[in-house]
């Protein structure tokens, strides 16, 4: 028990910091007089006092965190902060159960964007603001934010950063100091978000809608303040702006950081993922547009291109916005979009799935094995971006893929056994573990996850956390070896 107390100490500090994030929706509620001010008063007080008790009560146990401490702390932060985030929803929406509220906040923090709520247009604006703020915070990762702040308070965060950073190459650093790296990433993230807000406002959104949808866009989360999502605006210019920023958010933010620091676009050319991500996504847009046009879904190619481009980019980048019920398209198109969501976005982006870099490494490993069959005594190396990839990274990627597929199969079987149809089960699991948002059939873009039973909701909640924490970070704390001395 004593070895957990230093982790609880840091968790308490992060919880106190998290309570401050509730001040933004409080100000929105106060400014718009939407009647939800008391919900945030209670939330800030309960969250801050809980964190203070945990932090002060374990003060004498504080120490520098070790590797396994980092994994446990990441899991505790994501699961516990989502619980505190439910308070405004539970206070303001009386009929909402804790299961559904927890699903909603986990969906926000993991940038999944799947929702159990309906009548979004009738909710107090500050509640929708809180939902989209969760997406924005989760986008770059609360942990990276904590890494930038905690060292200032005498608590190192390198192990947190390694456990949280997405992608297979966690040891790469942008600056010598991890704190400077985290600050740089957040600065770039905030600057691009500001550009997104201004662009959406110029395209015709109100200021409040522009802020909320920019939060969701940059977090690649997909929460909207309208039941019809982007279909509510029915604006090609707003859709065009959002497509551009979804694509930007789907590229590694470390690459954006290097572009900003070096004042040169050269890092985009050197990024082995960025070009392929854009190429695969835009080629898929054209292919799906042609398919929908040929199938007679839309009367002309330009209309098909408009709907295919927004919805395909949205799902491929794991955002989850929609301008139409693509569940009604011929099944090939939405299945291809779900397939894209599994690998298209870059590592270090705010997207989900296995990431483009792992897909590239898997392809190169398959090619390597075939060359070794032809030349058994030859030395065949796997290279990416001109660098030789060590075998330990290849093995890690293969293990990741096995767990990823096994998780999808096992959770699909569990949902199917619990009474959900196969298409809904499979698409719900894929949409949740990839942090995409809408699935197909009963959990399609025109419906919500409210149709699920409590058990099915908890399965999908676990899938969202599993995907956001890159599988191993969550699963490792359930192994006996993790708790062994």
At residue 204, what are phi and psi to the nearest 5 degrees? Answer: 130, -5
CA distance 278 to 286: 12
**What distance in Å separates the CA atoms of residue 221 and residue 73, rounded to the nearest whole number?**
23
End-to-end CA distance of the chain: 12
Phi first, then psi: what are they for 384, rounded to 5°?
A: -145, 125
Crossing angle between the packed helical segments 454-468 and 422-433, to the nearest 10 degrees? 40
Q: How far is CA 433 from CA 113, 229, 286, 427, 437, in A?
A: 12, 21, 26, 10, 9
Residue 303 CB neighbour total at 10 angstroms: 14
- Rg (Cα) of the chain, in Å, rounded? 22
For residue 417, give the 3-state DSSP assignment: helix
148-186 residues labelled b (16+ CB within 10 A) or e (exposed): bbbbeeebbbbbbbbbbbbbbeeeeebeeebbebbbbbb
β partners of residue 388: 383
Selection from 465, 341, 463 nearest residue 406 by Cα: 463
Tokens representing residue 156 in the block: 């190192």
- Which residue positions form the known binding site? 111-112, 220-221, 318-319, 435
Q: Are 108 and 222 in contact (CB under 8 A)?
A: no
Annotated binding site for K(+): 111-112, 220-221, 318-319, 435
Q: Which residues pair with 387 in a beta bridge?
A: 384
Please give the Cα distance from 163 to 234 (Å, whole number): 41
Tokens 């303040």 -> residue: 225
Say which DSSP state 449 is in.
G
Q: Report the 10 Å Cβ neighbour count for 232.
A: 16
Query: 228 with 119: CB under 8 angstroms?
Result: no
DSSP designation for 420: -
Question: Could you tell me where the beta strands, DSSP code E, fall in 112-200?
Answer: none
Angle at CA 357, nearest 5°, toward 355 and 362?
100
In the numeric block, the tokens 């940038």 are attached to 111
Tokens 């522009």, residue? 210
């Amino acid at each position: 028990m004593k070895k957990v107390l230093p982790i609880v100490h840091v968790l308490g500090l992060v919880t106190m910091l998290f309570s401050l994030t509730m001040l933004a929706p409080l100000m929105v509620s106060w400014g718009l007089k939407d009647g939800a001010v008391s919900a945030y008063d209670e939330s800030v007080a309960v969250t801050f006092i809980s964190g203070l008790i945990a932090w002060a009560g374990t003060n004498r146990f504080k120490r520098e965190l070790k590797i396994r401490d980092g994994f446990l702390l990441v899991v505790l932060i994501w699961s516990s902060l989502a619980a505190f985030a439910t308070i405004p929803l539970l206070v303001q929406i009386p009929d909402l159960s804790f299961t559904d509220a927890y699903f909603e906040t986990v969906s926000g923090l993991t940038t999944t964007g799947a929702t159990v709520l309906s009548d979004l247009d009738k909710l107090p604006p500050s509640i929708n603001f809180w939902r989209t703020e969760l997406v924005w915070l989760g986008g770059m990762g609360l942990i990276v934010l904590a890494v930038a702040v905690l060292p200032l308070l005498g608590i190192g965060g390198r192990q947190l950063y390694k456990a949280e950073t997405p992608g297979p190459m966690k040891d790469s650093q942008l600056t010598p100091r991890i704190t400077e790296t985290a600050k740089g990433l957040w600065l770039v993230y905030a600057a691009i978000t500001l550009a997104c807000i201004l662009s959406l406002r110029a395209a015709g959104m109100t200021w409040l809608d522009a802020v909320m949808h920019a939060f969701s866009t940059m977090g690649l989360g997909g929460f909207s303040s309208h039941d019809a999502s982007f279909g509510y605006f029915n604006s090609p210019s707003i859709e065009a702006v959002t497509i551009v920023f979804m694509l930007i958010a789907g590229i590694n933010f470390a690459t954006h950081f290097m572009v900003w620091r070096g004042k040169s676009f050269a890092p985009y050319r050197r990024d082995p993922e960025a070009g392929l991500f854009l190429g695969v996504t835009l080629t898929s847009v054209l292919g799906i547009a042609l398919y929908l046009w040929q199938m007679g879904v839309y009367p002309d190619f330009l209309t098909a291109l408009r709907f295919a481009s927004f919805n395909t980019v949205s799902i491929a980048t794991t955002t989850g916005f929609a301008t139409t019920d693509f569940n009604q398209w011929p099944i090939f198109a939405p299945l291809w979009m779900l397939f894209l969501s599994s690998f298209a976005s870059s590592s270090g982006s705010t997207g989900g799935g296995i990431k483009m870099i792992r897909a590239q490494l898997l392809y190169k490993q398959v090619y390597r094995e075939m060359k070794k069959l032809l030349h058994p005594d030859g030395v065949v190396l796997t290279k990416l971006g001109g660098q030789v990839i060590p075998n330990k990274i290849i093995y890690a990627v293969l293990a990741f893929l096995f767990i990823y597929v096994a998780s999808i199969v096992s959770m699909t079987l569990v949902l199917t056994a619990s009474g959900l149809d196969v298409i809904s089960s499979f698409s719900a699991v894929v949409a949740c573990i990839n942090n995409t948002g809408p699935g197909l059939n009963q959990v399609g873009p025109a419906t919500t996850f409210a149709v699920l039973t409590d058990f099915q909701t908890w399965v999908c909640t676990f899938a969202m956390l599993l995907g956001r924490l890159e599988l191993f970070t969550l699963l490792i704390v359930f192994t006996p070896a993790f708790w062994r001395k």
